[in-house]
Amino acid sequence: MSALELVADRLRRAGRITALTGAGVSVASGMPTFRGADGLWRRQRAETIATPEAFAHDPKLVWEWYDWRRQTLREARPNPAHEVLAAWSRSTPGFTLVTQNVDGLLERAGADPIIRLHGSIWHLRCYQGCDVGRTEWRDETVPLPRLPPTCPHCGGLARPAVTWFGEPLDLVALEAAAGASACDVFLAIGTSAQVFPAAGLLPHARAHGAFIVEINTDATHATGAVDVALRGRAEDVLKQIAALL
Ligand code: OAD
């Protein structure tokens, strides 16, 4: 039995399946990863831009980065990796889709439901934390007419409704993801498994006896601790698995 057939067999027999996706699933849509060679913007790394400190220091610069990513995304289309996962999320009983991606491409492929660990680049909330603006709102305007954008409720500064480095994750999303990690098969797809707490879902799943499958073009920090590492592009490998099911 090939590794691919083994994974398909496990998936067929699984009661609960959870998939955790990272930036790698959006590469075929033209989106750069965070830690790849193409992940720099104006020679800066995401880790230095997507932080509370960077925003406090220069909100306009941080917003320029998000506005640039939103413009790139506007031209992007979901790829087969998004489509396979979206189809499973809708029609496979016991399947839970968890994503670290803020790009909205899984949602555009029709994924539902989806647990977003790091928020959404298409949502904003009040940076000052005013009463109404604390609840995020959707804004798909591309490009944003004025940078930095302001809160429509109090006129203060608005921020992207994403999780920055050093910020806690949304507790409801994290608890739902942790609960879903107690599953039969856990798929880690296109993630470098370096950013916690999301990366902690893998050992959590393992501790609950899940069969862990990694789908990635390269080895990662998690590769040594998975049951099967399928080396390849998520958009190819997921299509091949779907064809076997
Ligand atoms: P990374 O950029 O750290 O990792 C992307 C992974 O995708 C790498 O392991 C690549 O080898 C792999 N990859 C590239 N192309 C692929 C393809 N076609 N198919 C499969 N795998 C491929 O991105 P994440 O792990 O998602 O946080 O990073 C985690 C978080 O850190 C992100 O959610 C983001 C980031 O800063 C926020 O945006 C809040």
Task: Residue 11: name the closest of 196, 179, 230 by CA.
Answer: 230
Any idea what DSSP says for residue 24? G
The closest residue, in CA terms, to atom 6 on ligand 1 is 191
> What single-letter amino acid sits at 7?
V
pLDDT at 39: 67
Task: Residue 161: name the closest of 194, 190, 139 by CA.
Answer: 139
* Ligand 1, pocket residues at CB < 6 Å: 22-24, 27-28, 33-36, 46, 50, 100, 102, 118, 162-163, 190-192, 194-195, 216-218, 220, 233-234
Give catalytic residues, as residue numbers: 118
The number of the ligand 1 atom at minimal distance from the alpha carbon of 220 is: 9
Q: Going edge to edge, which strands form the sheet with 158-162? A: 137-138, 119-126, 158-162
The reported pTM is 0.96
Cis peptide before 149 (omega within 30 of 0): no
Task: Residue 217: name the closest of 58, 11, 62, 24 by CA.
Answer: 24
Run means of pLDDT, 10 residues per run, the chain, 245 residues: 96 98 97 78 79 96 95 96 98 97 98 98 97 96 97 97 96 98 98 94 97 98 96 98 97
Handedness of CA 142, 118, 102, 97 (dihedral sign): negative
Task: Residue 215: name the closest of 14, 28, 1 by CA.
Answer: 28
Q: Distance from the CA of 77 to the center of ligand 1, in angstroms? A: 18
Contact 181, 204 (CB under 8 A): yes
3-state secondary structure at position 208: coil
**Cβ of 69: how many Cβ atoms within 10 Å?**
19
The number of the ligand 1 atom at minimal distance from the alpha carbon of 36 is: 2
Q: Residue 153 has which token pair?
A: 């409720």
Task: Residue 180: name the closest of 227, 238, 120, 114 by CA.
Answer: 114
| Phi, psi (deg, nearest 5) at residue 214 | -110, 135
Q: Distance from the CA of 37 to the center of ligand 1, in angstroms? A: 12
pLDDT at 36: 74
> Using alpha carbons only, what angle is made at residue 113 by residues 105 and 234, rounded to the nearest 5 degrees?
45
